[in-house]
């Protein structure tokens, strides 16, 4: 039996589905089991990362083989209690972190995305459970932030059209997580995972247009306009600023392809065109 946190999201949903397809028992931690849309064969259990007692109930008072942990909250507040509750009832925790996690106490104290991941990594390492810290690069799924603009036939707004990333398909992240949960191959490891190619945001948008069979124009906007868009979407200020800083840096210092991705997956990682084809309905 495995507990998947974030099973209603893109990566967690793939983890739950791939585990179930392998014949594993899967529970998904959700706030509302009635409303949750989950893969077939996955059991919904009510719980919340901010309520450690609910995590214990979700684990059924027994030890489960492993937990896939996504931390969806802004900042690490409450993470120590949540990780402690999970570790008390599981043999293994696989944490979805990010590539380029900073080191040191100062990094952990930062109320931004890298700081949150650094703090969670430390807690998972110290939890007493076996652990794997997955460190993917940029998610291909982040391109869905453009979906409403593309569906409306509008230009895609971006402040950094030349920011270049090696975007990774959520199915590949999940495949690595499932390997970490089902085998001992990745215990104590911090594997990095990216897509197989480097694409600027402008190239990503053009490729989406190619798959859809139409041109999708790009509109370069100011940082201030982009920041306002991110804040309107609900991101905390520190997260919005961190994303914009990272994108600006990637215009001159692009991401690199992780050399071990194919070995980690046992096959070449999916490219961005494959991801767009899998999600074409979201853009139509």
Q: What one-character DSSP code corresponds to residue 239?
A: H
Whether residue 103 is predicted with pLDDT greater than 80 in this model: the reply is no
Q: Report the predicted TM-score, pTM, of the whole model to 2 decimal places.
A: 0.93
Residue 261 lies in a domain: no
Domain shared by 15 and 111, yes or no: yes
pLDDT given for residue 275 in this prediction: 98
What angle do the packed helices 237-250 and 113-125 form, to 10 degrees? 100
User: Where does residue 46 rank: exposed (0-12), middle (13-18), buried (19+ CB within 10 A)?
Assistant: middle
Residue 182 lies in a domain: no
Over residues 49-56, mean pLDDT: 90
Which residues does 37 contact at the CB level (< 8 Å), separation at least 6?
A: 8
Quote the domain boundaries for residue 275: 138-169+194-256+270-284
Residue 177 lies in a domain: no
- Which two three-digit tokens encode residue 204? 């990503």
Spatial separation of the C-alpha atoms in residues 39 and 11, rounded to whole Å: 12
At 133-182, the pLDDT tens digits run 999 999 999 999 999 999 999 999 999 999 999 999 999 999 999 999 99
CB 228 within 8 A of CB 212: no
Which domain CATH number covers 216?
3.40.50.720
Whether residue 14 is predicted with pLDDT greater than 60 in this model: the reply is yes
Domain shared by 9 and 109, yes or no: yes
Domain shared by 115 and 159, yes or no: no
Residue 74 lies in a domain: yes
Domain shared by 79 and 144, yes or no: no
Q: How confident is the model at residue 49 (pLDDT cuts 50, 70, 90)?
A: very high
Domain shared by 18 and 126, yes or no: yes
Sign of CA dihedral 229, 171, 81, 185: negative
Residue 203 lies in a domain: yes
pLDDT given for residue 30 in this prediction: 93
Residue 224 lies in a domain: yes
Q: How confident is the model at residue 106 (pLDDT cuts 50, 70, 90)?
A: low
Domain shared by 122 and 202, yes or no: no
Domain shared by 159 and 124, yes or no: no
Over residues 181-193, mean pLDDT: 97
Whether residue 108 is predicted with pLDDT greater than 70 in this model: the reply is no
Domain shared by 144 and 84, yes or no: no
Residue 11: count other Cβ atoms within 10 Å of its Cβ. Answer: 25
3-state secondary structure of 28: strand
- Which two three-digit tokens encode residue 22? 């392998």
Domain shared by 144 and 281, yes or no: yes
pLDDT given for residue 270 in this prediction: 98
Residue 175 lies in a domain: no
Spatial separation of the C-alpha atoms in residues 75 and 195, rounded to whole Å: 27
At 263-273, the pLDDT tens digits run 999 999 999 99
Domain shared by 91 and 156, yes or no: no
CB 46 within 8 A of CB 58: yes
Spatial separation of the C-alpha atoms in residues 89 and 67, rounded to whole Å: 9
**39 backbone dihedrals φ, ψ, rounded to 5°:** -60, 155
Domain shared by 154 and 119, yes or no: no
Residue 130 lies in a domain: yes
How many domains in the chain?
Answer: 2
Domain shared by 18 and 132, yes or no: yes
């Amino acid at each position: 039996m495995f507990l998947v946190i974030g099973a209603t999201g893109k990566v967690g949903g793939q983890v739950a589905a791939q585990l179930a397809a392998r014949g594993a028992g899967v529970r998904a931690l959700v706030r509302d089991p009635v409303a949750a849309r989950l893969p077939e064969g996955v059991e919904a259990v009510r719980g919340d990362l901010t309520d450690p007692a609910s995590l214990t109930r979700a684990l059924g008072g027994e030890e489960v083989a492993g937990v896939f942990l996504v931390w969806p909250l802004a900042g690490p507040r409450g993470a120590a209690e949540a990780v402690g509750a999970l570790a008390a009832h599981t043999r293994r925790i696989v944490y979805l972190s990010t590539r380029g996690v900073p080191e040191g106490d100062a990094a952990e104290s930062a109320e931004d995305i890298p700081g949150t991941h650094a703090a969670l990594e430390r807690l998972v390492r110290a939890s007493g459970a076996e652990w794997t810290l997955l460190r993917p690069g940029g998610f291909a799924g982040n391109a869905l932030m453009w979906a409403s603009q593309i569906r409306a036939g509008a230009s895609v707004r971006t402040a950094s059209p030349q920011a270049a990333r090696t975007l990774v398909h959520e199915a590949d992240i999940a495949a690595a997580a499932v390997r970490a949960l089902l085998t001992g191959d990745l215990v104590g490891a911090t594997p990095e995972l990216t897509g197989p190619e480097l694409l600027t945001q402008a190239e990503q948008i053009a490729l989406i247009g190619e798959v859809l069979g139409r041109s999708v124009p790009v509109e370069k906007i100011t940082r201030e306009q982009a920041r306002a868009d991110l804040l309107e979407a609900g991101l905390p200020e520190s997260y919005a600023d961190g994303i914009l800083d990272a994108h600006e840096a990637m215009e001159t210092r692009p991401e690199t392809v992780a050399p071990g991705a194919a070995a980690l997956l046992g096959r070449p990682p999916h490219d961005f065109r494959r991801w767009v084809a899998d999600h074409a309905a979201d853009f139509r």
